[in-house]
Structure 1
Amino acid sequence: MSAGSAAAVPGTDPAPHFVLVPMMVAGHAGLMLDMARTLSGRGTLVTFVMTPLNLPRLGRAPSDDALPIRFLPLRFPCAEEGLPEGCKSLDALPGLGLLRNFNDACAMLRGTLVALLRDREGDAPPPSCVVSDACHPWTGGVPRELGVPRFSFDGFCAFSSLCMRPGADREGGKMNLHKIFEGVDDDDTRPVHVPAFPIDVEILRARSPGNFTGPGMKEFGQEIMAESARADVLVVNSFAEMEPMFVDAYEAALGKKVWTIGPLFLAPTMPLAATAEDANAVRCVSWLESMKPRTVVFVSFGSRVRSSLPQLVEIEHGLEATKRPFIWVVKPRNLAEFERWLYEDGFESCIGEAGLVIRDWAPQKAILSHLATGAFFMNEKLVVDVLRVGVPVGVKGAAQWGVEAEGVLATRQDVERAVAAVMDCGEEGSARRARAAELGRKAREAVVHGGSSFRNVALLIQHVQQRTSTRNPWIEKKPSDRR
């Protein structure tokens, strides 16, 4: 079987059965739905595990693609863990103080999932492997009970994971392993060097990632690290040409394979246009059609961030001052308070058609793939220091996962300056855009036939077939064999 095809052939082993368990939040689940389409498009059977309420939020059901994807619904135990009815997604929580309850409710799904997979409803073959979100440590026990390998899916890039995630010693990434912030005050403005890293990287304590530092989250972070270390393979939504040295370094630190199979949303089986019958999707795409190419600033800080009103006010004034069209996805800490301020300030009526304010959810793939989009606020360290396709916003600190963001981390001047710099038409701005365009070209090439991620998907499927076959042993391959 070649690396360009993985479909089952008559007379050979049957196509492998991948069970995908995404995290119950739109951004994470959307990526894994893209993976489901990619795998099923290559001749495998895919079971996609999700609560019924969450699937429609992804835009469309996997069955809409006419691909062999099975949807396995699981009832989410809200009441059992003290969650309000309907809080079946991380971004639906009324407050981040309920994160531990949410994670405990997810863990309660383990027994039900194992039983359903063992029963094998209909003519479904037994699972060949379980691919689950790295942020779902409870899923680690599912493949162990079923006697199949677990592939941990990491939506982060290898660069970020090498900094933060566990190595073979299970002590965490380079930042944790070397305790680089030990004895450093939170407000210390001196940069701290990250040791034993492929390149020179420095980071401020105040701007370091705040994951797993909120109340009750330390233990959860330790569970994630322990299960990541126990996983058979790590699958990353990145591509080899973007960060080759970090993929190799992360693989060496883990002592196991790291498969780059992204960017998943660019895979040919995934339509880039918005397909949901959602008012926000229709509104966004229609508005983008009226804009000039590469002029729109897209501002979205993910599903977990709940900004305070003072911070939202600063972002609003900063965006208005740029005099550039924008789409701003807002996740306020207090929606009623924000809506009251927005009405009294008259911001939306003032900006008119120059900007869109989207509450809660936006069709990110459709926005990012549209010709009108010219800039996107995202992970600073990789984009600025490594890929050199962005500029720092200049935040004074980092919000923690599990703690509601208080006060102002980025001022209106920070926002205005950053947007002006990244959209600059001068020599520096042109150079950034040229590098971004080159990375975009390489990303698109990676997922089509013959590309590095395309080949890795085929090799990953072959590995699963060899692992589950009684006739073939698990064949180890060197990093160079998968690129």
Structure 2
Amino acid sequence: MSSGSAAAVAGADSAPHFVLVPMMAAGHAGPMLDMARTLSRRGALVTFVTTPLNLPRLGRAPSDDALPIRFLPLRFPCAEAGLPEDCESLDALPGLGLLSNFNDACAMLRGPLVTRLRDDREGGDTPPASCVVSDACHPWMGWVARELGVPRFSFDGFCAFSSFCMRQMNLHRIFDGVDDDRRSVRVPGFPIDVQISRARSPGNFTGPGMKEFGEEIMAESARADGLVVNSFAELEPMFLDAYEAAIGKKIWTVGPLFLTPTTMPPPPAMTEDANAVRCASWLESKKPRSMVFVSFGSLVRSSLPQLVEIGHGIEATKRPFIWVVKPGNPAEFEQWLSEDGFESRVGEMGLVIRDWAPQKAILSHPATGAFVTHCGWNSVLECVAAGLPMVTWPHFAEQFMNEKLVVDVLQVGVPVGVKDAAQWGVETEGVAATRQDVERAVAEVMDCGEEASARRARAAELGRKAREAVAHGGSSYRNVALLIQHVKH
């Protein structure tokens, strides 16, 4: 357990013990750590499984030490799986070709995890596990749950809309016999008419063994005792109901997890490093809802030609901006910045931030007016909670489906117009969207006209509903209690 929580454990024999196992990647571990805080604040004991290198990256807060959360770092078998040393996180992989090795290394944790949980139980250090909650990308956790004789709940890092859509696509094998990657195919058994092409589908995790791995995920998800989703009921009620009916299992929506007031430390003051200080100072000088935030998450690596188009596109909008850049070739990008004179030309109108920026704090700042996003679910949910409209620029995985939810269903986004998915782990080649595309989409979402005003109003209303969902008595607040009671009884 965290220091300071042993006494709480000793006096909480009746509390259910949740074992949480995230995918070893920042975008997956963060929401599950928020879930650990949520559960522990509501009376559950939590064991949070990680690895030695991932443990210090979790972003643990000082208040975590007072919670009944035990952080359990297991040695990650890099060498045994054929991975480079210290390659303990998905975003540390040097290339897509090692993804299968990484999945194999994760699966090798199953034996050590069961042994450690049993030893700790027999030694009196912790009570026996009541259930396991694991990332859907850890199908091996089904074996762990069966060995321990406890329920397994699949934690879905996607929204219900995209998860259900992917289930139907796989179940009906919608691309069998389709030889045109850009031909749109209708997804059967879905509550609304959704069509998607192979080029925009989540099937870009290719390589040896990946098809079989995907089938294993589907099979174990079907065997799970229920799903836990980082979403909220008011965001996608139609799709949650249809998904539950299709799988015949309970889905607990417990999000937005990062927003839960009982789990979070005070809002970030953006003073953690030089980038945060720069952003905080700069934002204070801008008018309310005047600034555009551009960021594509931790995994996207853009080519120089594409970065040039983004830069010139946001410059042409003549609006203040923060642009978080993760170039495929940093030296090449810096050379372009120097030769083009971009930063000196935009001056105080814009900030170019390398690698990292305090995203949640930027989105929640009054100066921020819109978010140009890759449509990763964490980013979408953070923007929804902030009550802001989006410019959508999906890259891979389920991001094109998230775009459909944002643009077509929620009607709070404007697409930049990307046609094909990029390949995860590979620097994007060429130009997927031009400077004109960027300028048009940003202008449309920031416009003062009737349509843009209605879009902003819808976004603000969703932000209000997100905050209400996690507040006392809200839908997500109630679902956390129901999940704990379900496991307890």
Structure 2 residue 203 is the aligned partner of structure 1 residue 180: no
1:410 offset after TM fit, Å? 1.8
Matches within 5 A, 1:399-410: 399-401=422-424, 403-410=426-433
Matches within 5 A, 1:263-274: 263-268=256-261, 269-271=263-265, 272-273=267-268
From 193, 213, 226, give the equivalent of 2:186.
193
From 136, 140, 143, give the equivalent of 1:141.
143
| Structure 2 equivalent of residue 259 of structure 1 | 252
Query: Which residue identity lines up with residue 281 of structure 1 in the other structure?
Result: A
| Structure 1 equivalent of residue 367 of structure 2 | 372
| Structure 1 equivalent of residue 301 of structure 2 | 306
Query: Which residue identity lines up with residue 199 of structure 2 in the other structure?
Result: A
C-alpha distance in structure 1 between counterparts of 2:13 and 2:35, whole Å: 22
Instruction: Report the more deviating stretch, 109-118 or 334-343.
Output: 334-343
The verdict on how the C-alpha distance between 1:68 and 1:13 changes in structure 2, with shifts beyond 3 A counting, is closer
Q: SS of the counterpart of 1:391?
A: strand
| Preserved CA contact (<8 Å) 1:210 1:401 | no
C-alpha distance in structure 1 between counterparts of 2:334 and 2:138, whole Å: 34
| Preserved CA contact (<8 Å) 1:265 1:365 | no
1:449 offset after TM fit, Å? 0.8
Matches within 5 A, 1:1-20: 14-20=14-20
| Preserved CA contact (<8 Å) 1:62 1:71 | no
Q: SS of the counterpart of 1:137?
A: coil
The verdict on how the C-alpha distance between 1:233 and 1:54 changes in structure 2, with shifts beyond 3 A counting, is same
| Preserved CA contact (<8 Å) 2:326 2:355 | yes
Map Cα deviations across residues 372-431 of structure 1 (whole Å, 9 max, x no partner).
222222231110011011111100211234555332222222222111111111101100
| Preserved CA contact (<8 Å) 1:135 1:224 | yes
C-alpha distance in structure 1 between counterparts of 2:61 and 2:11, whole Å: 32
| Structure 1 equivalent of residue 99 of structure 2 | 99
From 437, 441, 461, give the equivalent of 1:418.
441
C-alpha distance in structure 2 between counterparts of 1:192 and 1:385, whole Å: 17
| Preserved CA contact (<8 Å) 1:395 1:414 | no
| Structure 2 equivalent of residue 222 of structure 1 | 215
Matches within 5 A, 1:19-418: 19-61=19-61, 64=64, 66-120=66-120, 123-164=125-166, 173-186=167-180, 188=182, 191-214=184-207, 216-268=209-261, 269-271=263-265, 272-273=267-268, 277-376=272-371, 377=373, 378=375, 379-401=402-424, 403-418=426-441
TM-score by length of 1: 0.86
Map Cα deviations across residues 306-334 of structure 1 (whole Å, 9 max, x no partner).
22332222222222222222233333333
The verdict on how the C-alpha distance between 1:295 and 1:211 changes in structure 2, with shifts beyond 3 A counting, is farther
| Preserved CA contact (<8 Å) 2:37 2:64 | no
| Preserved CA contact (<8 Å) 2:13 2:127 | no
Instruction: Report the more deviating stretch, 337-346 or 30-39.
Output: 337-346
Unmatched 5+ stretches in structure 2: 1-7, 376-401
Query: Which residue identity lines up with residue 129 of structure 1 in the other structure?
Result: C
C-alpha distance in structure 2 between counterparts of 1:87 and 1:348, whole Å: 35
Query: Which residue identity lines up with residue 476 of structure 2 in the other structure?
Result: S
Instruction: Report the more deviating stretch, 373-382 or 77-86.
Output: 77-86
Q: SS of the counterpart of 2:307?
A: helix
C-alpha distance in structure 2 between counterparts of 1:232 and 1:246, whole Å: 19
From 475, 480, 487, give the equivalent of 1:457.
480
Task: Give the CA RMSD over aligned residues.
Answer: 2.6
Q: SS of the counterpart of 1:83?
A: coil
Q: SS of the counterpart of 2:80?
A: helix
Instruction: Report the more deviating stretch, 443-452 or 310-319.
Output: 310-319
C-alpha distance in structure 2 between counterparts of 1:116 and 1:289, whole Å: 49
Query: Which residue identity lines up with residue 270 of structure 1 in the other structure?
Result: M
C-alpha distance in structure 2 between counterparts of 1:100 and 1:275, whole Å: 37
Map Cα deviations across residues 75-112 of structure 1 (whole Å, 9 max, x no partner).
22223333333322211222222222222222222222
Q: SS of the counterpart of 1:319?
A: helix
| Preserved CA contact (<8 Å) 2:95 2:426 | no
The verdict on how the C-alpha distance between 1:455 and 1:86 changes in structure 2, with shifts beyond 3 A counting, is same
| Preserved CA contact (<8 Å) 1:214 1:401 | no
Map Cα deviations across residues 204-237 of structure 1 (whole Å, 9 max, x no partner).
4433334434554322222221221121110001
